[in-house]
């Protein structure tokens, strides 16, 4: 198998989805083309807070589409929330999507321990598509979901990308998250608390200044810096293990939609 040629072929069907507010990127994830639309994680398209646009970008770095939330959500054909199967299937037929690779959906039932897999995406919001090669290290069920554990480095931004079984060349899962080796909820709580502090301090009017310095705004700047550090620490705490949810529920919904 000419793996390099195969990757070149399928790369045209992999997408970055960025969440924008005032043309500033608030977060990103990955997606891929299948059927007559795209597939990604539900949590990728349901960010916290306000935003004003979805930006869809392809691996060539040039082709971009911007959609208003109402238009994007209006094209949503099937979805399962992050607390369940964590997928979204969006029917969009923009001209930029034509003549691109469409992935074939397989089944996790044929996946075995040790199977070699590929996953593609845009970790950390990188401008270029990134390809990882790994192995299936575990297959298990949790809360009614079939989960494929990957011996490969999944990072923020990989969420929503395709997990491909190299033997069948079919998508068998949607990359969902990494194992960080830390208590992830504690980091999320810290980041949330710092964000609230920054917002409160930003709305506080200083009554006095010390030596011509506004102590409130100085504190706000330090809290903002700590928030960024906490986010970077969470992102970098990667133990080289990732999870993908089985593609089967998505395939079933697409057949019914």
Provide the annotated active-site residues: 43, 86, 159
Answer for the pair 43, 27: CB distance below 8 angstroms, yes or no: no
**Contacts by 215-221 with C-beta closer than 8 Å and gap 24+?**
none
The residue among 48, 54, 49 whose CA lies nearest residue 25 is 54
Q: d(Cα 238, Cα 157) in Å, to the nearest integer?
A: 13
Residue 137 CA, chain-centre distance (Å), reads: 21
User: What kind and span of H or E run contains 137?
Assistant: strand 130-142
Provide the phi-psi class of 138: left if phi over 0, else alpha when psi is between -120 and 50, else beta.
beta
Q: d(Cα 81, Cα 84) in Å, to the nearest integer?
A: 5
């Amino acid at each position: 198998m000419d793996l390099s040629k195969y990757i070149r072929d399928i790369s045209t069907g992999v997408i970055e989805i960025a969440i924008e507010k005032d043309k500033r990127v608030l977060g990103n994830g990955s997606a891929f083309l299948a059927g007559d639309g795209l597939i990604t994680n539900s949590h990728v398209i349901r960010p916290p807070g306000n935003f004003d646009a979805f930006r869809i970008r392809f691996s060539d770095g040039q082709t971009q589409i911007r959609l208003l939330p109402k238009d994007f959500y209006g094209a949503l054909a099937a979805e399962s929330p992050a607390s369940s199967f964590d997928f979204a299937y969006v029917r969009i037929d923009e001209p930029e999507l034509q003549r691109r690779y469409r992935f074939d959906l397989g089944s996790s039932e044929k996946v075995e321990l040790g199977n070699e897999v590929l996953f593609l995406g845009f970790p950390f919001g990188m401008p270029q598509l990134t390809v990882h090669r790994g192995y299936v290290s575990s297959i298990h069920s949790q809360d009614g979901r079939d989960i494929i554990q990957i011996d490969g480095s999944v990072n923020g931004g990989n969420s929503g990308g395709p997990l491909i079984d190299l033997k069948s060349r079919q998508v068998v899962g949607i990359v969902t998250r990494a194992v960080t080796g830390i208590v992830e909820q504690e980091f999320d709580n810290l980041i949330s608390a710092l964000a609230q502090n920054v917002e409160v301090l930003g709305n506080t009017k200083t009554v006095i200044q010390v030596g011509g310095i506004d102590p409130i705004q100085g504190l706000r700047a330090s809290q903002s810096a700590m928030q960024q550090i906490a986010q970077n620490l969470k992102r970098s705490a990667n133990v080289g293990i990732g999870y993908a949810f089985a593609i089967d529920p998505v395939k079933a919904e697409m057949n019914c939609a």
